[in-house]
Amino acid sequence: MALLVVCAGIFLLIALPHVIAKSRNVSSKNLSTVDILTALGIFLGITWFVAIILACTYPEEQAQQQATATSAVTCGNCGRSLGKLETPNVIRGHNVCYQCYTLLKDQVQQ
Among left, alpha and beta (phi > 0; psi -120 to 50; other), residue 25 is: left
**Cα–Cα distance, 20 to 58 (Å, whole number):** 10
**Among residues 38, 75, 89, 95, the one that binds Zn ion under rule CB under 5 A:** 75
Minimum Å gap between C-beta 12 and Zn ion is 56
What's the min distance (Å) between Cβ of 83 and Zn ion?
12
Cα–Cα distance, 80 to 103 (Å, whole number): 15
74 is a site residue for Zn ion (CB under 5 A): no
Q: Among residues 27, 73, 77, 103, which is the contact residue for Zn ion, using CB under 5 A?
A: 77
- Tell me: does residue 78 bind Zn ion (CB under 5 A): yes
Check residue 27 for interaction with Zn ion (CB under 5 A): no
Closest by Cα among 60, 59, 58, 82 to 71: 82
100 interacts with Zn ion by CB under 5 A: yes
Helix (H, G, I), strand (E, B) or coil at 93: coil
Contact 19, 11 (CB under 8 A): no
Q: 52 or 100: whose CB is closer to Zn ion?
A: 100
- Contacts to Zn ion by CB under 5 A: 75, 77-78, 97, 100
